[in-house]
Amino acid sequence: MSAVGEHQVTSEIYSDIPVGSPEPGSEGYVTTKFYFRRPTTDPVAEVGKTEAALEYDSDGDPILERQQSEDVIQIKHSSSTSLRMVGLQVWRGALLLADWALHYGPSLLRGATVLELGTGTGLTSIVAAMHAREVVSTDVDLGGILDLIKTNIDLNKRLVKARSTVLGLDFFSKEWSKEILNKLKEVSIVLAADVIYDVDLTEAFVQTVVKIMNVKPKKTLYFALEKRYLSTSIFKMSTADLSLFTYPNDTPFVELDCTSAFNALTDKEKLYAHYLSQASWYGGLIVYVQTSPEAPLIFSLLHKLITAEGVEDLKQTAKESGEASEDDIKALLVYIAGVFANSGNYKGFGDSKIVPNLPKERLEKIILSSAAYKADPTVIQALWSACADSIYSLEPLQQHLGFSDKGITTYFTPNCTQKDSELVGNFMKKYNLEGYNNRLFKYENGSNTTYEIRMASVLEKNESEPFLMSDTIYEGCTFRVTRGDYSGLLDLVCQNLEKAKEYASNDLEKNMLEQYIKSFRTGSLDAHKSGSGIWIKNKGPVVETYIGFIETYRDPAGMRGEFEGFVAMVNKEMSAKFGALVANAEPLLKELPWPSTFEKDQFLKPDYTSLDVLTFSGSGIPAGINIPNYDEIRQSEGFKNVSLGNVIPTSFKGFRHQFLSDEDVALMDKYAVTAFEVCVGLHELLGHGSGKLFRKEGGKYNFDIESVVNPLTNEKITSWYDEGDTYDSKFTSLGSAYEECRAECVGLYLSLNENVLKIFGAEGEDAENVLYINWLNMFWAGGAKALEMYSPASKTWLQAHSQARYVILRVCLEAGEDFVKITETEPGKNLLLTVDRSKIKTVGKKAIGDFLLKLQVYKSTGDEKSAQDMFNKYSEVSDDGTYPWATWRSIILAHKQPRKIMVQHNTKLNGSTVDLLKYAATPEGFVQSWSERFPSSNVDSLLQSLWRKDAENFYAEPPAQLAAIC
């Protein structure tokens, strides 16, 4: 099956069988003639033949005896359709089952009542009707399929001997017609060919078959399904869904420019920034190991490909091979960019897999004709053989990240479940361990289970560190805490941090880097916390940086941090606005809809700067950051807010807003950047920076347990965080989306303050428009974009921010009074989102305020159960009611725009200073930036060795050829 255009699919058989053009008045159908020869002998008698007695053709198929004279079946069909209408095409499974019916029909179908499921064009039913007593052809009553079956039966009536009945039958329907139910009492043979192509449909098909087979008389099912590789993967989803897994060739590339800010640095500051960038880039390679078992191999393969020859040479080599088209070559470059931009073969925003937008065999030919292959065929062949299947596989459990029952993760070995995670979480709480810088490995030996909590560090030997633990029995299982994860890469991080230390501008920066180095060398999380505390005190640095295991979004348990490192320079003009916001923070906090007892005892004014990013390594580049994430530091020492100033305008370049009126689109185009700056500013400073966590430690409470009242119940506080509890350990997988939702709500609520808008230069009519666009954009993101990050198959959200924005939209839709409305303006094709801007300050404020109060109370009191119940309610994606989101998701995906890929600069030593290297905002420019970022093959060797170390834990049988060379 191949994709045609963006949302069309075409059966593979049309590459073998000539298909004409639609005739006038044919409703777009073409007519194809299928020639056949009848069997010469009783085919049942052939069953006893030995394999040696059969002859085979060049494809390995047995050559069966057939008559010399030919006959023909004529089938009207579509030559290309949307995936939901693939029944209008002819598929190989139908050809195979029709050939089976032709060969065995005289013996097995004679006198029988045959039921075909998912009949499609009717080819198999027509052949079955040449022999059976009656054929009941069924399919979903959609898009004229039933009429097409009748047309084709009539077109071949000279061949049809059986009574033919055509009935509607939907696998998803629980109520079947009386005609179907009565016919089942006569059916003895059931046929089905190529009728399933996604998880939900497969489940529905199986349930349908079970229901049918349980009706007497006894029935036999003959089922044909082509085993595909790439095709099967694509076949399991709509083509709109397929766009979630590929970067199209027209993916936009944009430059993340910081030239002016970098050129303003002194030579010493440039050297400081350079070595910090090197540390960040090397550390970012850890993310490949954290993403999927195959990601380190994919990086190594692609990196060798682009460093063995220049980009233009690689393109020319592929062209000269005669095996690749211009589109194939571009698809390869875009795929390389997608993998490198996301630090792995799963998207950083959405956690869905990235597969190449070209067939597997063509990619293989490009690789095997490359300079990399010619230079080292053994290694390249081994790498390709080891990861080719994984690159393309879109089996259900490989489509997204998650625990092994829902997806892929390397934070846990595949034999770990949510239950294992909870057990280990309890163990870690008891021994005051946190998950930020470790992974979990589970070993089973008969009835004995051992859990290894492996810390990230350069050092591998378990010397006398307080957090390291030898075998400890807990809940009948053995636990051990080790270290040495990502050792080789962290060593490179530390080497560059040591060099950066030589160019630090003050003792705070030197001490901060010393603590980071200690943390990465030893595995001590406390050292990283210490470094983070020093970092907070380093106010207003010219070169800002943060590095380590930071965000927990991609850990299915919500506790383990992905490696991240950024280096940036201060944008003084925008930083002044954020400084004004910080100065007004305390009165703004009083406007939030919770009692003062639920706010921190003291607001520790943070450093809030706008930065122009030089380097950002990790799985994606955010617009703003509020760090560190350690609860105890945030509550007692404070935090820093960072707005990535050159990211925000870059993100909006060339963007088109769908599902809005022309008037709203015009306002979006004019005010979206300013509105987003307001949103980010409030979200990071007063969203993530607000609210108190109630704690009980050492028998003491950090709140007055006698006087503080829960505003939702008007009763005393009954729950809190005990010693060893953190927000992440309490809220686990819920935590990220819940906290992002709370921060977004704070941003909406406080944007109603005119002084806030004035800080960002918006007054009068402009201020009203910025306010409106801030709210409209939140609802638009929740409705028009968020469902791209939802998996119907697993019924899970794949991205925290998307889930948060969808929840906010649902809350405001629930508020009623026509405040927010979404209508389906063109059935199955288009939606329209409208917001009554006159009700933002009334209906909107009350809806968000009431919801925000619940969000904060549940968070403050550690009431994860109430939080989960409430959040799950608004997170549900249903196809019922006024807003059938599950159905509308297909409309949203049909309008999906590819996410931009940002091209970052490199730095290069030039004597006592540093040069800034810039690249074109193209796939070629992006690939060149990475080939020059890591010119040495040493990183490939390191990643291969890390893969080898983990292989036995993530592969049933590690690829032997590759294991031998790693």
Residues acting as catalytic residues: 684
Strand partners, 568: 544, 613
Q: Is residue 392 within 8 Å of residue 233, measured between CB atoms? A: yes
Give the max Cα distance, the chain: 97
Q: Is residue 153 within 8 Å of residue 129, measured between CB atoms? A: yes
Side-chain half-sphere exposure of 778, counting CA atoms within 13 A: 35
Q: What are phi and psi of 94, to 5 degrees?
A: -70, -40
Nearest CA-CA partner of 548 in 347, 737, 942, 279: 279
List for the chain the helix, strand, coil content (%; round to 5): 45, 20, 35
C-alpha gyration radius of the chain: 31
Q: Are strands 113-117 and 71-77 parallel, antiparallel or unpaired?
A: unpaired
Place of tokens 């069909």: 77
Angle, CA 348 vertex, CA 277 and CA 275 arms, to 5°:
5
How many CB atoms within 10 Å of residue 485? 23
Place of tokens 């088109």: 656
Nearest CA-CA partner of 733 in 809, 796, 807, 808: 796
Euclidean distance between CA atoms 521 and 459, whole angstroms: 6
- What are the DSSP calls for 526-550, one per residue? HHHHHHHHHHHHS-S-SEEEEEEEE
CA distances in angstroms from 635 to 61, 599, 630, 639, listed in the order given: 71, 10, 9, 9
E strands in 461-577: 469-474, 477-485, 543-551, 562-570
Q: Cα torsion for 934, 354, 16, 221, to the nearest 10°?
A: 140
Exposed, middle or buried, 116 (CB in 10 Å: 0-12/13-18/19+)? buried
Euclidean distance between CA atoms 559 and 427, whole angstroms: 14
- What are the DSSP calls for 749-789, one per residue? HHTT-HHHHHHTT--HHHHHHHHHHHHHHHHHIIIIIGGGG
Q: Is residue 875 within 8 Å of residue 797, measured between CB atoms? A: yes
Euclidean distance between CA atoms 391 and 902, whole angstroms: 23
